[in-house]
A and B are shown apart, each in its own frame.
Chain A
Amino acid sequence: MRITVTRTGGFAGITRRAGLDSTGRADAPHLEELARAALADGAPDRPAGVPDGFQYGIEVDGATVYCADPRLSAAQRELIRTVLREGA
């Protein structure tokens, strides 16, 4: 499963994008479960968000949803954190 996270906005206004493939990873089942939950919890359009808050786009195998701080589901939060930290 190909998972890509794009983070825009924030106080600095710097966009960050990172992606990873769950295939072959030891945590693949967990990541894929997170990704499915993150998609289900997301919105089809970018939410308004809050001033200086991060906004996120989560793309999983071609399907994209959006979410924004501070209103993330637990799955979105963990997935975003993992992909931005470990993805390339």
Chain B
Amino acid sequence: MMRSSVTERRGDAVSRITMRDGRCHALYAGNHSISVIATPRHDTTTGRCHIAPMDDSRTRNRPPAAAHAPRITSHHTHHHGVFCTIVPPHVLDRLARADDPALHEPARRTLERDALQRTRRRITTVRGIRATAADREATDQPQRTIYDAGNREELPGEKVRGEGDDPGQDASVNRAYAGLGATFDLYLKVYGRRSIDGGGLPLDATVHYGQDYGNAFWDGERMVFGDGDGEVFRDFTLPLDVIGHELTHGVTQYTANLEYFSQPGALNESVSDVFGALIKQHSLGQTADQADWLIGAELLTDRVTGEALRSMKAPGTAYDDDVLGKDPQPATMDDYVDTSDDNGGVHINSGIPNHAFYLAATDLGGYAWERAGQIWYDVLTGGELAADANFTDFARLTLAAAESRFGAGDEQRALQKAWSRVGVETA
């Protein structure tokens, strides 16, 4: 029988790709809530995969725990175009390093061709990645790598600083490195979460992306920062809350995986602003009444009339400028903005849940990450928050989380008041 296979074990999870009789058999099994077991049949004429259930392998999801070392067996060469993207990325990485060209060639092609599609899939698929991620060895230390795109728009760029390396001359690189560390710190020390996936995922960032590029984004695998256009925006690595915001998109991707559109999208954005702000407050040791509750306070150039990009304290007041226009964020449901731009106003209507968080956190006082932040974290990671949740769904879950974490008391009352003030129903 013509056959090539790779088996990889991580903790209690096993992944095996076998090519047999012209078919690609992919098996991935872990001890978490899901097991993906499938037999893709590769169609070499179209490059597409057909997935059919595999019925004989559900007993294999508990390999011996001691078997950590990947074992690679390769018996025969068989030509394939690309692997199906149901193959977990870390297995593709392993395949790409295999000696047998029958394994590494399609894996390398798949990695190259599908890097961005996999990214999108990770954003739009809910649970598959969680099991993969949780199988990594958890660690209490971040594993940071910073890349320099050299003002081109190719990712990830050249590696310029790894974990434990001394600071270099490039301030953007050093800020990104420190910001990743501050983000890792808040999630670990306050919420006991190891990296953004809870399983010690390495943290990667690319700086100097594009020319005069006035943006930062999360591409599904890494944070990407532009230098700013110099006219309106400065370097996007400057504000710590922007770094925390981007990495929190990673946390959301690995947990509730809120859709990036309309109200769930605005919740996705708001959660990133909330934890971005908390990462900054935690790093500065600020209480709720000491914090500025601004997002991107260092981002605007001196030419811009404004103090930041967003204000959680007073949404809609962060800037009012000839070039930028006026901050469009509403603070309450009365001013909710219906638009097709910006994925249905995800960066606009996030002002409403942002303001609710600010109201609850300042009402409770003290360090905002301790009570309000804990409640938000419980909702985001608790498994009850649907990917298509709206503001009311989220608000109700905060009340439930407050009660189960702190009992019926100040926290619940502060939340009820906050949601009511922004006009979000909780009853």
Contact = CB atoms under 8 A, between A and B. Distances in A.
Contacts of A77: 153
B222 to A, nearest CB: 10
B224 interface: yes
Contacts of A50: 119-120, 123, 217-220
B118 interface: no
Highest count of chain B CB atoms <10 Å: which of A50, A51, A70, A77: A51
B276 to A, nearest CB: 10
Highest count of chain A CB atoms <10 Å: which of B218, B272, B347: B347
Contacts of A11: 215-217, 236, 242, 245, 296, 309, 347
Nearest to B220: A50
Interface stretch (B195-203, B278-286, B338-346): B338-346
B347 A9 contact: yes
B347 to A, nearest CB: 3
Given A8-B342, A9-B342, A9-B347, A52 B215 contact: yes
Contacts of A8: 341-343
B348 interface: yes
Nearest to B211: A81
A48 interface: yes
B404 interface: no
Contacts of B209: 70
A53 B219 contact: yes
B123 A70 contact: no
A14 B233 CA distance: 12
B342 A54 contact: no
A contacts with B: majority SS = loop
B contacts with A: majority SS = mixed
A70 B342 contact: no
Nearest to B246: A52
Contact of A53 (B217, B269, B325): B217
B217 A70 contact: yes
B408 interface: no
Contacts of B211: 81
A69 B260 CA distance: 15
A44 B342 CA distance: 17
A11 B217 CA distance: 7
A49 B249 CA distance: 13
B219 to A, nearest CB: 5
Nearest to A52: B217
B116 interface: yes
B124 interface: yes
Interface string A6-49: 00111111110000000000000000000000000000000011
The contact size tier of chain B is 35 or more
A71 interface: yes
Contacts of A12: 214-215, 233, 296, 309, 324, 347
Contacts of B217: 10-11, 50-54, 69-70
A87 to B, nearest CB: 15
A49 B343 contact: yes
B342 A52 contact: no
A54 B309 CA distance: 16
A13 B123 contact: no
Interface in B210-256: 211, 214-220, 224, 233, 236, 242, 245-246, 249, 253
A69 B224 CA distance: 11
A5 B406 CA distance: 51
A70 B115 CA distance: 11
A72 interface: yes
Interface in A41-86: 48-55, 69-72, 77, 81
Contacts of B120: 48, 50
A13 B215 contact: no
A51 B249 contact: yes
Contacts of B272: 51
For the complex of A and B, the 3 pairs showing the least CB-CB separation, nearest first, are A13-B347, A52-B217, A51-B249
Given A9-B342, A49-B260, A70-B224, 4 more contacts: A9-B347, A12-B309, A48-B260, A52-B217
